[in-house]
Structure 1
Amino acid sequence: MTTSPLTIVAEFRVSTENRTRFLELCAYDSERSVSDEKGCLRFEAVSPLDDPQTVILVEVYEDEAAFETHLATPHFKVFADGVKDLEVKEISVRKAARHAPKA
């Protein structure tokens, strides 16, 4: 099934002492993704107001191929290495299709 656009919702759990550095990595990945990847339409990092140790990435790509391209970029490698180094726990990574508004 081809999904266009494709939304990625990735949830992470980060310790208090590593939160600032992790958010810096999220900002770096977000900035590079939006500026360098033609297929990345949106990339945001958010946290629930009542749970600052949870960080949720909401990313929108033109399609699955654009997301696969993202996973092969140097800036994603920096992010992925940082997740390991900071011992950030990946809770889930979900792919979603947009139903409204229509693309």
Structure 2
Amino acid sequence: MTTSPLTIVAEFRIPAENRDHFLELCAYDSAHSVADESGCQRFEAVSPMDDPQTVILVEVYDDEAAFETHLATPHFKVFEVAVKELGAELVSLRKTARIAPRS
């Protein structure tokens, strides 16, 4: 199974009072990831329509190395610190590989 591209699916639970601030941080991290990282193909935040306290980040990278580069960027460090300060809980983080379509 190929791991290129690599899709990251990260699910967070956000306290209601911090949701708006968390979404601003997601937008910040997303914008910088796509603009500043050549290996980041896509980065978006989604939320189940019936569960606004859950936010899921879907990020697509060229490969594992590109994701590791992302984790070392200044904009990710800002996001990482803020997640803790806002009481956001990382529920799961999955590394997935595309299986269809193949290209």
TM interval, shorter chain, is: over 0.9
In the aligned structure 2, how far is the partner of 1:71 from the partner of 1:64? 11
Name the TM-score, length of structure 2 as normaliser: 0.97
Offset from partner CA, 1:51-88 (integer Å, 9 cap, x none): 00000000000000000000000000000001011010
- 1:84 pairs with 2:84: yes
Name the TM-score, length of structure 1 as normaliser: 0.97
In the aligned structure 1, how far is the partner of 2:79 from the partner of 2:40? 16
Q: In the alignment, what sits opposite 1:39?
A: 39
**SS of residue in 2 equivalent to 1:93:** strand
Q: Percent sequence identity over matched residues?
A: 75
In the aligned structure 2, how far is the partner of 1:85 from the partner of 1:14? 11
Task: Report the RMSD for the aligned CA atoms in angstroms.
Answer: 1.0
Q: In the alignment, what sits opposite 1:57?
A: 57
Structure 2 residue ranges without an equivalent (≥5): none
